[in-house]
Structure 1
Amino acid sequence: MAVNLFTFFSECCYSCRPRQWPKNLLVFAAPLFAFRFEADVWLKSGGAMVAFCLISSAIYLLNDCLDVAADRAHPSKRYRPIAAGLVSVPAALTTAAALAVVSLSFAAWVAPGLAGVVLLYGLIQVGYCFQLKRMPLLDLFCIASGFLLRAIAGVVAGGFGFSPWFLLTVGLLALFLAIEKRKAELRVAQDLGVITRKVLERYSLPLLLRLESLVATSAFMSYSLWAAGPALNGASTTWMLLTVPFVLVGIFRYQLLSDPEEAERRRLLTPEHTSEKPEEILLGDRGIQLTLLAWLFTVVVVGLSHRADLLPEGGLQL
């Protein structure tokens, strides 16, 4: 009995996809870009991250329950615990409901406004699971909204102002990742001759490539405008322009990894590192990791050097 309970617990935890939790680190973007290094600000952002880990896990469980038939036809998703029959659908749905309640309660305790952001995220994602994921273009915006709301959660939890360029950049970069995800899924579906997502029937690689080019360019430009400084209602110092090359390199690197020929060369060595799973690229690709570390180091150095100019009452913008 104890062994069965342990197996169920471990498989249920796996279904919550903890490997995707690092994307919730995006809640720390707000205090980082605002150069707010006070302990209480980061503790509140940490609370926002915990709330999003819980609510996102609830959504993953719900999504796997709804997609159980399609996942069983997918080359890798068929091994997920729910699709493989290791976790029953009723048990998964009960766990999802419990996680959602705990997430909302904890978010309300951290900051009342944060609960509203978490609730909005949950409602959008539930709509995505039931219907919106089958609607072309809207499915991309639903995926991107999850990242954008994480960034907004950091702003709400920290209680400081923000620049519209900051949110626009996050939204566009999230949209870029969503397009890359669909592009990889479409290639897999074409290779296998099996459509695992209904919405893929409405997409083509030429269309996704055009969308990718538009969104990548827009994301880089919006970040550059934010980094230009206060004159453009952006960052609190123009020294953030030093981080622009790392953003460009990161976008180029990701596009290289998602290129069909490059992806095929890497498939045999690291089959799990695919743009179908953005979190695996961020966690596993050395080039992306080094670019992120260099970008983060530059942001911290600029922030610390600019620290003396920050307003003590926290009225600075991101």
Structure 2
Amino acid sequence: MSSFATASLRRTGALIEALRPRHWVKNVVVVAAPLFGLALDVDSLLRVGWAFVAFSMTASAFYLINDVRDIEADRNHPVKKHRPIAAGLVPIPFALSTAAVLLLGGLLGSYVLAPWLALTIGAYAFIQAGYNLGLKEEPILDIMVIAGGFVLRALGGAAAAGVPPSGWFILCIGLLAFFLGIEKRKAELREAGDEEETRSVLRDYSLPWLRRMESVVTASALMAYALWTLEGADTPWMLATLPFVAYAIFRYQYLSENGEGETPEETLVGDPAMLVASVCWGMLSLAILLISQ
């Protein structure tokens, strides 16, 4: 193999790493609305599949932009200095041009499929831009942006499948996403300790404050889900899924107390107990919805 081909393969591999495909699992939230709306035909699933791709493209574009913007800080960080852009494996012009292609591709492709999907993608891109430009340094607002991203993913999936989302659906997704954001910051803060090289916004948080926020949001999320099963769901039998939701929430709190909730997408699929609870919840929910039709 020629040196040019070898260099091209290395650059491609570094670019793929910079896109952070392991974080794409967050975009699985797009299936929530069609799942609960039982819009599970082939056409709907294909449309939701494109919504997943579009959100992944948009998220990866902002990972590239963020790494370019933080390149100097990353080069001075003991771990982040190995990121492809900070390490010089992906040139800045190439990273920015790739980000532009991903953004335009996600928006234009979404508009062709469903204008409302393009609107949610655009809103997601807008808040991600705000996050990278400074909101990630603002306590509370940084967590709200994280939660807003999950809500927009869920709304995007609903738009792609043509399923109108209910207020209960948005409320439950929003509160659960806010809960995950709090747990993420709590785990990061516990992991960072007294280290200076850490996310700057963590200096504005404290564990007692995050635990107070956690208590309020946890109670609100569980109550919202319980009320949805009784008032908003097609059948009150959905109340039978509440124990799995409660277990998953409290299990996640347990993990974050031990510094394991810093990356929600990895925690949700990496912890066997969380994975079993999630699968049981999904199977039971789908069975109840199918039987109630």
The offset of 1:84, in angstroms, is 2.5
The secondary structure found in structure 1 opposite 2:287 is: helix
Give 2:211's aligned residue: 209
Question: How many angstroms apart in 2 are the aligned matches of 1:137 and 1:98?
Answer: 32
Q: For residue 217 of structure 1, report the CA deviation from its aligned partner.
A: 1.3
- Distance in structure 1 (CA, Å) of the matches to 2:34 and 2:197: 42
Q: Which runs of 4+ in 1 moved over 6 A?
A: none
For 2:262, which of 276, 280, 289 is the aligned residue? 276
Instruction: Answer whether contact 1:71 1:196 (CA < 8 A) is retained.
Output: no
Answer yes or no: is the 8 Å Cα contact 1:72–1:83 preserved in 2: yes
Choose from 21, 34, 37 the match for 1:34.
Answer: 37
1:85 has 2:59 as partner: no
In the alignment, is the contact (CA less than 8 A) between 2:39 and 2:163 conserved in 1? no
Q: Which residue does 1:200 correspond to in 2?
A: 202
1:192-227 C-alpha deviation (Å, 9 max, x unpaired):
x21422212211111111111111111111111111
Deviations 1:43-69 (A, max 9, x none): 211111111011111111111222223
AA aligned opposite 2:210: L
Residues 211/72 of structure 1: CA separation in 2 closer, same or farther (3 Å cut): farther
Partner of 2:147: 144
1:104 & 1:79 partners in 2: Cα distance?
Answer: 31
Q: Give the deviation of 1:160 after TM superposition.
A: 2.5
Match of 2:173 in 1: 170
For residues 72 and 158 of structure 1, the distance between their equivalents in structure 2, rounded to whole angstroms, comes to 43
Classify the secondary structure of the residue corresponding to 2:193.
Answer: helix
- 2:252 corresponds to: 254
**Residues matched between the structures, number:** 290
Determine the structure 2 residue equivalent to 1:315.
none
Structure 1 pair 223–76 and aligned structure 2 pair: CA distance change class (3 A): farther
1:14 equivalent in structure 2? 17
Q: Residues of 1 paired with 2:71 and 2:285: CA distance?
A: 42
Tell me which residue corresponds to 1:161. Answer: 164
The amino acid across from 1:205 in the alignment is L
1:297 to 274, 283, 287: 283
Residue type at the aligned position of 2:126: L
Q: Distance in 1 between matches of 2:216 and 2:92?
A: 40
One-letter amino acid of the structure 1 residue matched with residue 279 of structure 2: L
Which amino acid counterpart does residue 295 of structure 1 have in structure 2?
W
**Paired amino acid for 1:236:** D
Does residue 52 of structure 1 match 2:50?
Answer: no
Question: 1:151, CA displacement in angstroms?
Answer: 0.5
In structure 2, what is the Cα distance between the partners aligned to 1:209 and 1:284? Answer: 24
TM, length-normalised to structure 1: 0.87
Q: 2:270, 2:77 → 1: CA distance?
A: 22
- Percentage of pairs with the same residue: 48
Correspondence 1:226-245 to 2 at 5 A = 226-228=228-230, 232=231, 234-245=232-243
Distance in 2 of aligned mates of 1:211 and 1:75: 31
TM-score (norm 2): 0.94
Distance of aligned partners of 1:73 and 1:144 in 2 relative to their CA distance in 1, 3 Å threshold? farther
Kindly provide the amino acid, as one letter, of the partner of residue 118 in structure 1. I
Q: Determine the C-alpha separation between the residues in 1 that align with 2:145 and 2:133.
A: 12
* Preserved contact between residue 24 and residue 49 of structure 1 (Cα < 8 Å): yes
Contact map agreement 1:163 1:235 (CA 8 A) in 2: no
CA RMSD, aligned part only?
1.5
Q: Is 2:234–2:289's contact at 8 Å kept on the other side of the alignment?
A: no
What is the CA-CA distance between 1:169 and the residue it aligns to?
0.8
Q: Structure 1 counterpart of 2:249, which letter?
A: I
